[in-house]
Amino acid sequence: MLKVKNYIHELETVSKKSFNNDEKMLLEKAIKMAEYAHEGFYRKSGEPFVNHPLEVSKILASLKLDITTLISGILHDSVEDSDGKVTLQDIEKEFGKNVALIVDGVTKVSKINAPVGNIDQKKKSETIQKMLFAMAEDVRVIFVKLADRLHNMRTIDYVDNKEKKRYKALETLEVYAPIAHKLGIHVIKWELEDLSFKVLYPEEYYKIKELVAQKKKEREERTNEYVNQLKLALKEHNINALIEGRYKHYYSIWKKMKEKNKNFDEIYDLIGIRAIVDDIKTCYTTVGVVHQIWVPLPGRFKDYIAAPKSNGYKSIHTTVITQYGEPLEIQIRDHQMHNEAEYGLIAHWIYKEKTVNLKQKWLLQLLDWRKELLKGSTNLSELKNELQLEEVFVLTPKGEIIHMPRGSTVIDFAYAIHTEIGHHFSGAKVNGKIVPISYKLKNGDVVEILVNKSSKGPSLDWLKYAKSPRTKAKIRRFFREQEKERLIDSGKDVIRKLAKRLNISIENLLENERLKTFMKNHSLSSEELFIRIGEGSITFNDLLSLIEKQEEQKKIKIKQKKNYKNLISIDGISTIDVHIAKCCMPVPGDEIIGISSRRGITIHRVGCKNIKNIEEERKFSANWISENSSGFNAAIEIELDKNERLPEIMNIFVSKKINISSLKVSESESWKTIFAQFTIVVKSLSELNELINDIEKKAGVIRVRRK
């Protein structure tokens, strides 16, 4: 049996506080319930299962969390892993509603296997909704879950199943470490990253570990020298400060090497110094002292006290060049800022008078994400991306600081201010100058959004410039709510044209097994399918390639390849194998020429720019003998006055029974026109010219040219 009093003493030691008698009684009762729930169960390591929740509670105690959270940690697996011996009702009866709510939330989150890596995300919306809902009920749910995941990662070497081991590590790296970062709980984030790194990239992990160990003594000596220099200088200015060295953890070293394409020896910020002082005023005085000792690096001063990060992080960062010619980052903050930097939202939870604003902000953000998920406007991969994005801070004309994901544009900023401002966006000024919708925000930009109250709403084109998943979700939601019927009708039109193209009824098309499987895999009803088609996220060509049999497409390709030598004569000989050049895509009727290469003879159009400098001895005269019934690829570019013209152009292809292999749409630099680049299949130059003539007659077409 577990020595309960000894364990409670361990919790007190770790949390650096004493429990009162009532708290000790509750802890004792929780430990006994956990022992009863997990009796007879053992972990892969061979130790009793109850050791896991007790270690989780120790982690929570080290974070100085309240007694309710510690009890929840002790009981977090009791309902799920007790074979019905302990229920939520039992927990609520003995420990109250809050503990039961947290345990229930952790149980729900634990059942979620979040899609990670390249895994098909069939149940992404359903799973992430549960996760967000559980977190939003009580933020302590995620505190317990992070501690649970941390202990599981500490003991992951006992897991034999390699696939399960890698999945858990990847899920930790892609979901839980970013959430810890978003909450500002860096003490957990760093360890989760390193433990995941060790599982996913063991060779790289041990290599970095060895490289760090090789120069450990040298770095420690250098760091101590810098610390003593700063201590002495601050003492001369009568500044009380706790000065400590800090070291980059393994995963962040490897990540920086990979992102910057650098060797280990080229990473100069492996060490840094942190100065913790008494108050904000002293933080700024300390900066002056630091810059008297060492020369500051231009552009490397960041004031997160004046402009805190969105997760509440406050500190001053300055990078200097030391007497050894190496860059050294120094962080300066007061004691409260330091607690918040290490423990994030947990620190705000502990200082209850500071809790409300940040806590509410986080919960509101989670609930907002959940609403968007319920409406099908965003998904797990977008949430993961948002959690992992770096940030920039920009200012409103009134000086309010707005945090945005790095890479955000002015349209993202408009929607971040208010959804209605985003919907009625008509332009933007940055630092007093008009900028395009594609302008990427930079730190310190002052952004003014121009609004047209009489506009009908956003344009689908804005999705191309929106970088934030939440902005995209709001734009999509607008069209779903405001133009649902129009999108459905537009989607049905495409389905109607596809059915006509395939010479089957609409009913038979919707019963197509490939289409039904596609809809099932993407959780689409018929109505949702029509909406997706109407808004353009599923195209005519997507559906065509989905439904047409791959075997038939392969036969066409094989037939084309086999028959080329019977279609083209080279120097009067028609039995030579030839290839059709992809750069200029000649079709029967074009003037052509043969170019010898390692592959054999490649057929180009006479005017192809890629053959201008080819030696004469590699050129052969070539002529068409006959047409190929399967057709040839050709590329055309159409310039239009607006996006809405595209359906009319598509109608021409459908009416002429011309297959579209690919479509790419882009906007001109002035945004006044759009370019649609089609790759199509035609039988001859005359058919291609007839198509181009018909397109040129359409309203809104500025020009058509063959690529």
Catalytic residues: 80-81
Q: Locate 400 and state its tokens.
A: 């309010």
Q: Which two tokens stand for residue 163?
A: 């696939």
| DSSP assignment letter at 704 | E
- Confirm if 425 and 411 have CB atoms less than 8 A apart: yes
Q: Residue 42, SS3?
A: strand
Cβ atoms of 88 and 104 within 8 Å: the answer is yes
What gap in Å lies between CA 304 and CA 299, rounded to an integer? 14
> Using an 8 Å Cβ cutoff, are 65 and 349 in contact?
yes
Backbone angles phi, psi at 489, to 5 degrees: -60, -45
Query: From the CB of residue 198, how many other CB atoms can be counted at a distance below 10 Å?
Result: 19
Q: Are 574 and 625 in contact (CB under 8 A)?
A: yes
Show the CA angle centred on residue 91, arms to residues 89 and 96, nearest 5°: 100
Q: How many CB atoms lie within 10 A of CB 598?
A: 4
Listed residue (678, 627, 628) closest to 653, CA to CA: 678
- The two tokens of residue 438 are 């594609």
| CA–CA distance, 230 with 240 (Å, rounded to integer) | 11
- Region at 83 (left for phi over 0; alpha for psi -120 to 50; beta for the rest): left
| Contacts for 186 with CB less than 8 Å, ≥ 6 apart | 180, 341, 342, 344
**Is the CB of residue 595 less than 8 Å from the CB of residue 578?**
no
User: What's the length of the chain?
Assistant: 707
Residue in this structure with the two tokens 């423990």, named with its chain if needed: 343
Rounded Cα gap, residues 206 and 198, in angstroms: 8
Q: Which of 681, 661, 685, 689 is nearest to 606 (CA)?
A: 685
